Structure 1
Amino acid sequence: MSSLPQACTRFTFEDYLVWEPTQELRHEYLNGEVFAMTGARRNHVTVTVNLTSALRNLVRGTPCRVYASDMKLRIASADAACYPDVSVSCDERDRRTDLFIAHPLLIIEVLSPSTAAWDRSRKFDLYRQIDTLQEYVLIEPELRSVDVFRRRPAGDWLFQPFRDDEAVELAALGCTLPMALIYEDVDFPPDAAADPD
């Protein structure tokens, strides 16, 4: 997940693509500025691996590809590039690029305390500019809490929360994921049983 510290310098997107591989840390890009990525906690990584594995099994044999958090997502209309925790693209154009994808069907972010507000607001604003995006999913790694935002035909977004032991519906892929699978091997903190609302 990215934090939003002071910007290092200004870049074009092409400069950023050349510069970033020479750095020790990954960086997200927004309008010429770059922002260093921070490390993730154990539950965050566990949920991300669970989702990547489950979705890979679901799309096997289809034109869709699952990408983990090391694949950049280019949002040309916003002059931005992010690293979603998990993304799925079924678009042929994304199989022709090596450094980033730009046409995802599904994006999943596993929340962390330092970036949750960013993921829920400005980052979602950026993602909504992607015309192929059908679902945006936010997952709390310390609670059984998954929020799905689904694009409707009129272009607006429907919010659907899933809690406790509900199966999470991913309409973009025509599947459901059990909470037990999403949170497999997650060690919940003692107060995680409390209602998040």
Structure 2
Amino acid sequence: MQTAEQLHFSAADFLAWEENQTEKHEFVAGEVFVMTGARQDHVLVSGNIYAALKQRLRGTPCRAYIADMKLRVETADAFFYPDVMVSCHPEDRQAEQFLSHPALIVEVLSDSTADYDRGGKFVAYRKLESLQEYLIVDIDNRRVECFRRTTDNDWLLHDYLGEVDCQLHSLSLSLPLAEIFEDIETA
């Protein structure tokens, strides 16, 4: 993520401005950051997760969304584009520009965003009362880190590696790692 020409906006002005842009931008506390393109493995893994979730959520009130849907974290004065997210909230089903109540957020790591996905972005995501699980997907190590909110509002890490299923308690389903990393060549 790179800073875009030092632009500063209110949240409302950002939404209006971004509608006319050819690139996606994230917004944090008035600052605007241009989103860069992703490598093929990143796109494949994001697509695999989205497709698996969409199929498993069919017939439920939950919907899976992929990278082009904005997420608003109002308490952080921010808008993000998670790689994948799922919302079961009725307000999000009616939303036009952005979601505000995801139960699950997935970020697929890239070299340029890994530190931010694990740090500042996760700090902002934790401010979402609706969020129950945050997945960080590490393609290079074929690993999924699932941070799950506890009843005490702490976040507990569940590490998935190897030939196992990633358990998503927030949605009462599981995703096999083989399905998440399908079509990814081993190094």
Normalised-by-shorter TM-score class: over 0.9
Matches within 5 A, 1:110-189: 110-189=108-187
Q: What is the identity, as a one-letter code, of the residue corresponding to 1:166?
A: V
Q: What is the identity, as a one-letter code, of the residue corresponding to 2:146?
A: V
Deviations 1:149-179 (A, max 9, x none): 0000110011111111121111111111111
Deviations 1:43-88 (A, max 9, x none): 1000000000000011101110111000000000110000000000
Matches within 5 A, 1:20-39: 20-39=18-37
Matched residues in 1 for 2:128 and 2:97: separation? 18
Aligned-residue RMSD, C-alpha: 1.0
Matches within 5 A, 1:62-77: 62-77=60-75
Matched residues in 1 for 2:59 and 2:178: separation? 25
Q: CA 1:21/1:6 → structure 2, altered by over 3 Å: closer, same or farther?
A: closer
Matched residues in 1 for 2:102 and 2:6: separation? 28
Matched residues in 1 for 2:5 and 2:135: separation? 27
Matched residues in 1 for 2:82 and 2:28: separation? 14
Deviation at 1:6, TM superposition (A): 5.6
* Secondary structure in structure 2 of the residue aligned to 1:123: helix
1:102 is the counterpart of 2:95 = no
The alignment-based identity, stated in percent, is: 45
Q: CA 1:6/1:24 → structure 2, altered by over 3 Å: closer, same or farther?
A: closer
* Secondary structure in structure 1 of the residue aligned to 2:102: coil
Q: CA 1:7/1:155 → structure 2, altered by over 3 Å: closer, same or farther?
A: farther
Q: Which residue of 1 aligns with 2:43?
A: 45
Q: What is the identity, as a one-letter code, of the residue corresponding to 1:70?
A: D
Matched residues in 2 for 1:48 and 1:170: separation? 16
Deviation at 1:22, TM superposition (A): 1.2
Matched residues in 2 for 1:117 and 1:137: separation? 14
* Range 147-156 or range 157-166, more displaced: 157-166
Matched residues in 2 for 1:16 and 1:109: separation? 23
* Secondary structure in structure 1 of the residue aligned to 2:64: strand
Misfit runs of 4+, over 4 Å: none
Q: Which residue of 1 aligns with 2:3?
A: 5
Q: In the alignment, is the contact (CA less than 8 A) between 2:4 and 2:34 conserved in 1?
A: no
Deviations 1:131-162 (A, max 9, x none): 00000000012221100000001100111111
Q: Which runs of 5+ in 2 are unaligned?
A: none
Give the paired residue count.
Answer: 187
Structure-1-length-normalised TM-score: 0.92
Structure-2-length-normalised TM-score: 0.97
